[in-house]
Chain A
Amino acid sequence: MPYIRVSEKLPGIRSLFAFRPETATPMSELAEVLLHQPGTLSPADRELIATYVSSENDCYYCQTAHGAIAAHHLGGNEALVIDVKRDFEHAAISDKLKALLAIAGKVQRGGKNVQPEDVERARREGATDLEIHDTVLIAAAFCMFNRYVDGLATWAPTDLDGFRERAAKVARDGYLGVLGYIAEARASGNGS
């Protein structure tokens, strides 16, 4: 049961986006740039970083939603997403992604945990400064999203098919689609 009166039809962060469109817009645009727009890191890699951080933060909605999007980008390989969450150092992913996930995990526990050796390891595995930068920003942003979602006790469905269905849409269209239904919710008075 959410701590504030948000739409009962929308799960997780989407109920909060509809509640407060002014902050939803820049948050969605940030997610779009970090996770969906073309970059040197694949969308699957970036979604795995988001999923791993959300899992470490024990945020059910975010790790399930982004885990489903990562799996969609990986051709439906949900087992690999579980492997990454459980023990990424031994998962079937690139050494570069392992180094980036190690940095993301340190950011999740607190930014000051990131040490020069962590950055050197990522560089050794071929990560560019832009990729390291974006990894830290994805990890930091998801700590915000995770705390936002759980700090207000938002509701999330347990049916995984719903997550899979939505994941296919987000993987294709990105994160700005939410802005449309927020405007609708607003117009019909379902917002705040």
Chain B
Amino acid sequence: MKPIETMPAMQAMFLPDVENNPQPSSTTDLIRIAQSAGTEYPKIWHLFAYRPEATTHLGAFTQEIMRGDGPVSASISPGLRELIAAFTSSANECPF
């Protein structure tokens, strides 16, 4: 088994245009708050803030699959769903 990865320190992204051009969105507000407080934040926020017209659907998808109470997933608790997500991310070596 591979060792569990630790979070790398915040570093510049491959695409500066993405990092420097957050569009008006709730994620952009979050980035501003974190930046003005000088705290670290997950850089996936920049991906969400760059292309909200696409990522809003990813957000809706995540909300439904992780927290939605559709006929199927209602029988899998949110805790178990997060555990499945965490296990898959670990297998994909994505520490965040």
Which residues on A are within 8 Å of B, measured CB to CB? 20, 22-23, 25-27, 29-30, 33-34, 110-112, 114, 116, 119, 128-130, 132-134, 137, 192
Q: Contact at B92–A22, with CB atoms within 8 Å?
A: no
Interface of B is mostly: helix
Q: Contact at B18–A133, with CB atoms within 8 Å?
A: yes
Flag whether B33 is at the interface (Cβ < 8 A): no
Cβ of B45 to closest chain A Cβ, rounded Å: 14
Closest to A37 in B: B53
| A–B Cβ pairs within 8 angstroms, 21 of them | A20-B72, A26-B57, A27-B57, A29-B57, A33-B54, A33-B57, A111-B92, A112-B93, A119-B15, A128-B17, A129-B15, A129-B16, A129-B18, A132-B14, A132-B15, A133-B15, A133-B50, A134-B54, A137-B51, A137-B54, A192-B70
Flag whether B85 is at the interface (Cβ < 8 A): no
Q: Contact at A133–B64, with CB atoms within 8 Å?
A: no
Which residues on B are within 8 Å of A, measured CB to CB? 14-18, 47, 50-51, 53-54, 57-61, 64-65, 68, 70-72, 92-94
The distance in angstroms between the C-alpha atoms of A17 and B63, with both chains bound, is 17
Cβ of A179 to closest chain B Cβ, rounded Å: 12
Q: Contact at B51–A133, with CB atoms within 8 Å?
A: yes
Interface of A is mostly: helix
A133 proximity list for chain B (CB < 8 A): 15, 18, 47, 50-51
Q: Which of A30, A111, A128 contacts B94 (CB 8 A)?
A: A111
Q: Contact at A22–B54, with CB atoms within 8 Å?
A: no
Q: Contact at A130–B17, with CB atoms within 8 Å?
A: yes
Q: Contact at B93–A26, with CB atoms within 8 Å?
A: no
Q: Contact at B60–A25, with CB atoms within 8 Å?
A: yes
Q: Contact at B92–A110, with CB atoms within 8 Å?
A: yes
Additional A-B contacts beyond A26-B64, A29-B60 (11; CB < 8 A): A20-B70, A20-B72, A23-B61, A25-B60, A30-B61, A116-B14, A119-B14, A119-B15, A129-B17, A134-B54, A137-B51
